[in-house]
Structure 1
Amino acid sequence: MKKMSSSKKAKSRGIVAWPEGERPRERLLRQGAQALTDAELVAILLRVGVKDTSAVEMARLILKKFGSLRAVAGAPLSALQEVKGLKGAKAAQLAAAMEVGRRISLPDARDRISLKNTNAAAKYLQSRLQGLPEEHFRALFLNRRGTLLEDALLAVGSVDQARPQIRLIVARALQANASMVIMAHNHPSGAADASESDRFFTEDLYAALKPIGLKLLDHIVIGESSVFSFADSGMMDEITLAGTTD
């Protein structure tokens, strides 16, 4: 009888059939996490594979589908579950691990974050909005000194679905006891250009905040590699001027 080759045997039995020195978990324990490839790290999160597919092979499929770890971290759960074998607990484990990593990279919530200018606000927002597969709308509520009081995610979805209601933003600003507001959203398409609907939305929000003494500092659009600021472009001044002449 013809013997099964070692490579076929390893594939049929999964990672457990690999030489111990090649198994991701054993390599991590011996050499440290930094020695592992992206696929090996993801494989450890998955723990086991599925029939005829090892955890490492599953990890490679995931990375091939999304292109990078960063893209995996930004993918919605529904997209992760499109990968063969990545359902239920496995998808939840991976999504949770990616979210933990994302949150670790964010500024500590206990720090007093000052967002007095566009550069500071844009840098802060890029860490939260860049690379996401869907449009996210966030509002930053600040005190008179420009210190961040609350960072609120208000809407997620397609371009039409992600537009938050003005009254919701006003209510959240009052709850936070804010003096100033910075609006922000991302463009998953990559271009950080303000659309006509972005301008109309900003005008409406300015008009709603002004009568109750709240200042709209800026509306920042985050693209894949660039940022657009209503304040820096002069559009915020135009909106303010138009508001004083109404």
Structure 2
Amino acid sequence: MDQNKARPLHEKHRARMQVRVERDGLDSLAEHEALEYLLFLAIPRQDTNELAHRLIQHFGDFCKVMEADPEELKQVKGIGEKSARLISTVTAFGRYYALKKRKHRVALNHTEAAVEYVKPLFLGLQNELLYLILLDDKCCPVRDLRIAEGVPNRVHIDTRKLLRDVARTDATCGILAHNHPTGLPLPSEADVIATVGIMKALDPLGVSVIDHIIVAGEDSCSMRARGCLPEYHGGSDILNASSR
């Protein structure tokens, strides 16, 4: 079938899928169909069904495709700069929407509220990030500080910048949060070491760390709720709660 004959078939297929989405919603689509539908925007005059299958086969499932780096996406035959940018941008907009949807004036004085607040920070990310959520005296968020990227014990935290940024706020305490892109949301020795280091750095400003939350996909762990949040009493006096 030559290209001129194939085009009307593709157009009819796209029209049918559009009607289906409008009638039944995106939830009615299989994973490859959802990718096919998305790729319509980047590839207006070609059949994207085979390309969608190729993406699923390469990455494993829909979520892994959407979370892939643009350079990784372009390794799949048929995915160019425009398609890769579209896929990564959709995921980024989903994260942006989730962040803006949060209620900033809600008090994060219990684990459930804190977890709900920090989860959108890591939506769709495959690299590990460490945040400090600064809170006022009512435990309401003041600012989200991204302070490190990578494995906590292998990244350099710019202490001067951290202290400068914290000093510019009226924060009295904070919650650390980072993600485990793979694996379980369980605190490691490196997580405890990073927590202690930040507690020491913030002590001169009178800002305490009241929790450290680890997020892994839909799962999460609060070090405070788990009983393993270190306690800092000034100087070098560190008491690990899990050893009491």
User: Into which bin does the TM-score normalised by the smaller protein fall?
Assistant: 0.7 to 0.9
Match of 1:136 in 2: 129
Between the two proteins, the alignment pairs up a number of residues equal to: 234
Distance 1:182 1:79 in 2: 33
Mapped partners of 1:185, 1:20: distance in 2: 45
Spell out structure 1 runs of 4+ moving beyond 6 A: 12-15
* 2:242 matched residue in structure 1: none
State the AA in 2 paired with 1:192. P
Could you list the per-position Cα deviations for residues 130-184 of structure 1 after superposition, in whole angstroms to 9, with x for gaps in the alignment?
A: 6632212222111111111222333334566555333333232223332211111
User: In the alignment, residue 149 of structure 1 is paired with which amino acid?
Assistant: V
What letter is aligned with 2:232? T
Identical-pair percentage = 24
Structure-to-structure mapping, 1:40-79, within 5 angstroms: 40-47=33-40, 54-79=47-72
Give the CA RMSD over aligned residues.
Answer: 3.3
SS in structure 2 at match of 1:239: strand
Gaps of at least 5 residues in structure 1 are 1-8
- Aligned CA distance change for structure 1 residues 212 and 201 (closer, same or farther; 3 Å): same
8 Å CA contact 2:153–2:193 kept in 1: the answer is no
Aligned partner of residue 235 in structure 1, secondary structure: coil
SS in structure 1 of the partner of residue 139 of structure 2: coil
Change (3 A) 1:31 1:126: closer
2:101 aligned counterpart, secondary structure: coil
Residue of structure 2 in register with 1:16 after alignment: 7
For the residues of structure 2 that align with 1:96 and 1:14, how far apart are their CA atoms? 33
1:149 to 122, 142, 155: 142
Q: Which residue of 2 aligns with 1:228?
A: 221
C-alpha separation between the residues in 1 aligned to 2:145 and 2:7? 45
The structure 2 residue matched to 1:240, chosen from 228, 232, 236, is 232
Instruction: Tell me, in whole angstroms, the C-alpha distance in 1 between the residues paired with 2:102 and 2:157.
Output: 24
The alpha-carbon distance between structure 1 residues 162 and 71, as it changes in their structure 2 partners (threshold 3 A), is farther
- 5+ residue gaps, structure 2, are 239-244
Aligned counterparts of 1:101 and 1:122: Cα–Cα separation in 2: 18
State the alpha-carbon separation in 2 of the partners of residues 157 and 13 from structure 1: 50
Equivalent runs, 1:91-240 vs 2, <5 Å? 91-108=84-101, 111-129=104-122, 132-157=125-150, 162=155, 164-236=157-229, 238-240=230-232
CA gap of 1:122–1:30, structure 2 versus 1, over 3 A, is: closer
Residue 28 (str. 1) matches residue 28 (str. 2): no
Structure-2 change in CA distance of 1:210 and 1:86 (3 Å): same
Letter in 1 for 2:231: I
* Contact map agreement 1:25 1:44 (CA 8 A) in 2: no
Conservation of the 8 A alpha-carbon contact between 1:218 and 1:231: yes
> Partner of 1:6 in structure 2?
none
- Contact kept, 8 Å, 1:112 with 1:147, in 2: the verdict is yes
Q: Take 1:97 and 1:14, find their aligned partners in 2: how far apart are those partners?
A: 32
Cα distance in 1, alignment partners of residues 98 and 182 from structure 2: 24
Instruction: Please tell me whether the aligned partners of residues 136 and 186 of structure 1 are also in contact (alpha carbons under 8 angstroms).
Output: yes
Given the superposition, is the C-alpha separation of residues 95 and 31 from structure 1 closer, same or farther in structure 2, using an over 3 Å criterion?
A: closer
TM-score by structure 1 length? 0.77
Distance 2:60 2:34 in 1: 15
